[in-house]
Amino acid sequence: MEDKSAKGDALDDVRNRIDAIDLELLGLISERARCAQQVAHIKTAADGGQVQFYRPEREVAVLRRIKAANPGPLDGEEVARLFREIMSACLALERPLNVAFLGPAGTFTQAAAIKHFGHSVKTFALATIGEIFREVEAGSCDFGVVPVENSTEGVVSHTLDMFMTSPLMITGEVSLRIHHHLMSVTEDLCAIRTVYSHQQSLAQCRGWLDRHLPNADRVAVGSNAEAARTAATEEDAAAVAGLQAAEIYRLAVLAERIEDEPGNTTRFLVIGPQDSRPSGQGQDKTSLLLSCRNQAGGLHTLLTPLAAHGISMTRIESRPSRRGIWDYVFFIDIMGHRDDPKVALALENLRQASLLFKVLGSYPLAVL
């Protein structure tokens, strides 16, 4: 009996300490929010009409500093996630951002948007990648988030093709580990006759579906969230989608993490009217769209300036130009910001060697 009350006292002591810390934290977070309001006033006075409240290079600098200073016991990713949300709320005080994503609600693209901007932005589900570009170009949304490549299935060509004609720039990138789950209104795997999902997700779970649901029809639909929405209306159907979709459409998860490749990751791009300023520490990337003359060694000539200036290329993708004049265009990612002197020089040389040359944007490597 005595022992129990001693334990109770100890628990009360720690909880009282937690209550006091929470109040201190609240005071500090509120003070931080007031600082963000001051920043907004300073920016408005300095920039006039076209104020850029959202500053990706500053946000990654804050998150990098927090991760480096983290004393534990919380993991670095975890503290960065907490500060991501604090900054998201502070930015919403300055100006709430409208972010378009590939809908409907519950897609991985929405999860990527929230991972990048935090929960305090307003997200808008749009039906196609083309619509996202159009809404951001028109200014009705501040930014858009679109998938660009998956580690198992390769590039999302529609996104790359949009950059050939769009004036929008790449402001940031987000990588998301993709876990697929089988979900349904029924809790009985044997009752499933149809499996809905996006074509890429069906492909990413082919092995599991062959083993566990060899007789069910696989039906490709526009997105995983649409698959979940459809499966919610059919007794003998299931969807392959993310957990968010299961929550939104109230489906039971029959099997978790059914993707064939455990490292399955999708990369998304954040698009907006302008790119990011340098975040420093060599932690920026630049994306380019290029085409060369259709002759032997054309691509080699194009890439020589990068090698000459010691700039590393992290990705190259070719796409048919669909313009007739050039056969192919190349999407190239390099390390460094376009304002870094070495990168600026290499880009100038590249510009001279290319038929088509477009900087799609410089942006910080993702912290989260």
Ligand X SMILES: O=C(O)C(=O)C[C@]1(C(=O)O)C=C[C@@H](O)C=C1
The binder of ligand X chosen from 91, 121, 232, 270 (CB under 6 A): 91
CA 81/CA 79 separation, integer angstroms: 5
Q: Which of residues 260-289 bind ligand X (CB under 6 A)?
A: none
Site for ligand X contains 121 (CB under 6 A)? no
Closest CB to ligand X among 36 and 355?
36
Q: List the beta bridge partners of residue 341.
A: none
Of 8-16, 86-94, 117-125, 246-254, which segment contacts ligand X by CB under 6 A? 86-94
Smallest distance from the beta carbon of 78 to ligand X, in angstroms?
19
Residues contacting residue 317 through CB under 8 Å, at least 6 positions apart: 155, 160, 330, 331, 332
Smallest distance from the beta carbon of 87 to ligand X, in angstroms?
4
The binder of ligand X chosen from 60, 80, 94, 172 (CB under 6 A): 94
Using DSSP, state whether 192 is helix, strand or coil.
coil
Smallest distance from the beta carbon of 62 to ligand X, in angstroms?
5
Residues contacting residue 54 through CB under 8 Å, at least 6 positions apart: 91, 97, 142, 143
**Distances in whole angstroms, Cα of residue 31 to Cα of each of 27, 38, 58, 88, 351:** 6, 11, 19, 15, 47
The binder of ligand X chosen from 63, 66, 87, 195 (CB under 6 A): 87
Closest CB to ligand X among 55 and 218?
55
Closest CB to ligand X among 58 and 67?
58
CA 103/CA 225 separation, integer angstroms: 7
Structure tokens at 13: 């002591």
Residue with tokens 């006033």: 41
List the alpha helices (DSSP H) in 144-271.
157-165, 199-204, 206-212, 224-231, 243-248
Closest CB to ligand X among 94 and 161?
94
What single-letter amino acid sits at 3?
A: D
The binder of ligand X chosen from 60, 80, 90, 209 (CB under 6 A): 90
Smallest distance from the beta carbon of 367 to ligand X, in angstroms?
13
Structure tokens at 262: 């455990």
Closest CB to ligand X among 54 and 249?
54
Query: What x/- string results for residues 24 through 63 when contact with ligand X is judged by CB under 6 A?
Result: ------------x--x-------------xxx--xx--x-
Smallest distance from the beta carbon of 57 to ligand X, in angstroms?
9
CA 66/CA 87 separation, integer angstroms: 12
DSSP 7: H
Residue nearest to ligand X (CB): 90
Of 85-93, 113-121, 199-207, 245-253, which segment contacts ligand X by CB under 6 A? 85-93
Torsion region of 322: left, alpha or beta (phi above 0 gives left; psi -120 to 50 gives alpha): left
Closest CB to ligand X among 53 and 330?
53
Nearest to 368 by CA among 178, 177, 179, 175: 175
Closest CB to ligand X among 121 and 227?
121
CA dihedral 329, 335, 337, 342 (to 10 degrees): -100
Smallest distance from the beta carbon of 53 to ligand X, in angstroms?
6
Closest CB to ligand X among 36 and 345?
36
Closest CB to ligand X among 280 and 298?
280
* Residues forming the site for ligand X (CB under 6 A): 36, 39, 53-55, 58-59, 62, 87, 90-91, 94
